[in-house]
Amino acid sequence: MSIIPPAPGEPRRPQGPRNPGDAWVVAETGEKYWGRFGAAGLLAVDPVRGVLLQHRVGWSHFGGTWGLPGGALHEGESALVGAIREAQEEAGVPDGAVRARFTRVLDLKIWSYTTVVADVVEPFEPVISDPESLALEWVPVDAVDERPLHPGFADAWPALRALLAVRPSIVVDAANVIGSVPDGWWRDRAGAAERLRDRLVAWAAAGVEPGVLGGAGVPEALGESEKFGTLGEPGVRWYPDVTMVVEGAARKMSGAGAGAGAGAGSGVALDADGAGVVDLGGGLDLGGAGVRVAGLGAAGVGAVGVVRADGHGDDAIVGEARRLVAAGREVIVVTSDRELRTRVEALGARTQSAGWMRDQLDARSARRGR
């Protein structure tokens, strides 16, 4: 393997590299890949218009083909941040316009490429903002194969398209999870709910490994589901929607949504420079340009909604599970209440225990502490 900077006068970087990451990685067999520290691209998915594709200018690598807005990562930059930055530079994607659903990594050992698949939550029109694009178009999912695709994207598209049909959603019985540990939560139920919410935000924003939502090691999760069998594909990381349902005194928690469905579309703002991102303290550092995400925002990663039950919390959880199942989501309800588990499983949802959720949150805290 060798690293070769752009040649003098190369159209991609006519004034030389803008960042140390702007370089070719050349394999011993001669294949070359752009990005010393790897590369990332954004697959923005609009529910009405399809996916955003870039028609690559002729002088670029595999010029004339269609692919994703993206490019070389900066040193120390996460793929999530890098994909958003590159998409803003090449396609004018506004801050907060998309929310990550999952990432898929092609790891060639000497180089890697991360596809960030993100749902459009604020519709926008792409703008050609650098010389690497001939056109930017929203293309219906069924019509993508009709275009001459960049070879790398062509190889990845069948798996990516299959994964677009998967929408994992997690509904958390907050009272059950909080009450599973006698840590004094009863002295401040609203505060305990806020702490759980913040931990859920950080957990979802960090991404969930495939085995957690389906596959080996979690037999009660989603491994036997036809759709969720794909969740175990190597290199895939999910950023699931999470809704927590609170009742009684916990309804007074700050930042809680009102009514069923408060979790839909909520999330954490993600942009390329951290501007406007709310940090509730601690947060999650995504790397690179100082981006931090925490709390509740408009888009990005780590979506956590809060439903305040007007009556019994179990009824609100069943209502939320019913709504999500009807919307085509693959739903996990987190509770150790046997009666509630029976009710939501009858709707087509799956269940995990409060202890499972605690283990997930504790494992993330332990990784941060290392």
pLDDT at site 303: 64
| Measured distance CA(251)–CA(253) in Å, rounded | 5
pLDDT at site 367: 66
pLDDT at site 224: 41
Burial tier of 172 (Cβ tally within 10 Å: 0-12, 13-18, 19+): buried
| Measured distance CA(71)–CA(123) in Å, rounded | 23
| Measured distance CA(263)–CA(276) in Å, rounded | 21
Provide the total of helices (H) and of strands (E) in the chain, helices listed first: 8, 18
| pTM (predicted TM-score) | 0.80
Q: Beta partners for 39?
A: 72, 113
> Which positions ≥6 away from 204 have C-beta within 8 Å?
170, 239, 240, 241, 242, 301, 302, 303, 304
Cβ pair 301, 80 in contact under 8 A: yes
| Measured distance CA(362)–CA(370) in Å, rounded | 13
**Digits of tens for pLDDT over the chain (370 positions)?**
667 666 665 555 544 456 888 888 999 888 888 889 999 999 999 999 999 999 988 777 777 899 999 999 999 999 999 999 999 999 999 999 999 999 999 999 999 999 999 999 999 999 998 888 899 999 999 999 999 999 999 999 999 999 998 889 999 999 999 999 999 999 999 999 999 999 999 999 888 876 777 532 233 333 344 444 455 566 888 998 999 999 999 999 987 443 334 443 333 334 444 332 333 333 333 333 333 333 223 346 666 899 999 989 999 999 999 999 999 998 999 999 999 999 999 999 999 999 999 999 998 776 665 4
> Which positions ≥6 away from 264 have C-beta within 8 Å?
241, 305
DSSP per residue over 226-251, as a string?
TTGGGGG-TTEEE--EEEEEE-GGGG
Cβ pair 79, 107 in contact under 8 A: no
pLDDT at site 17: 52
Which residue in this structure is represented by tokens 């951290």?
Answer: 274
pLDDT at site 12: 54
Q: Beta partners for 45?
A: 51, 119
pLDDT at site 61: 73
Q: How far is CA 22 from the centre of its chain?
A: 26
pLDDT at site 152: 92
DSSP per residue over 298-322, as a string?
SSSB--EEEEE-SS-HHHHHHHHHH
Residues in the chain: 370
pLDDT at site 262: 43
pLDDT at site 368: 63
pLDDT at site 59: 73
pLDDT at site 53: 97
Q: From the CB of residue 130, how many other CB atoms can be counted at a distance below 10 Å?
A: 14
Q: Which residues of 242-266 are buried (b: 16+ CB within 10 A; e: fewer)?
A: bbbbbbeebbebeebbeebbbbbeb
Q: How far is CA 219 from the centre of its chain?
A: 24
Query: DSSP strand E in the chain: where?
Result: 2-4, 24-26, 32-34, 39-46, 50-56, 66-67, 70-72, 98-107, 112-120, 133-139, 168-173, 236-238, 241-246, 284-287, 291-293, 304-308, 330-334, 350-352
Q: Which residues of 348-362 are buried (b: 16+ CB within 10 A; e: fewer)?
A: ebbbbbbebbbebbe
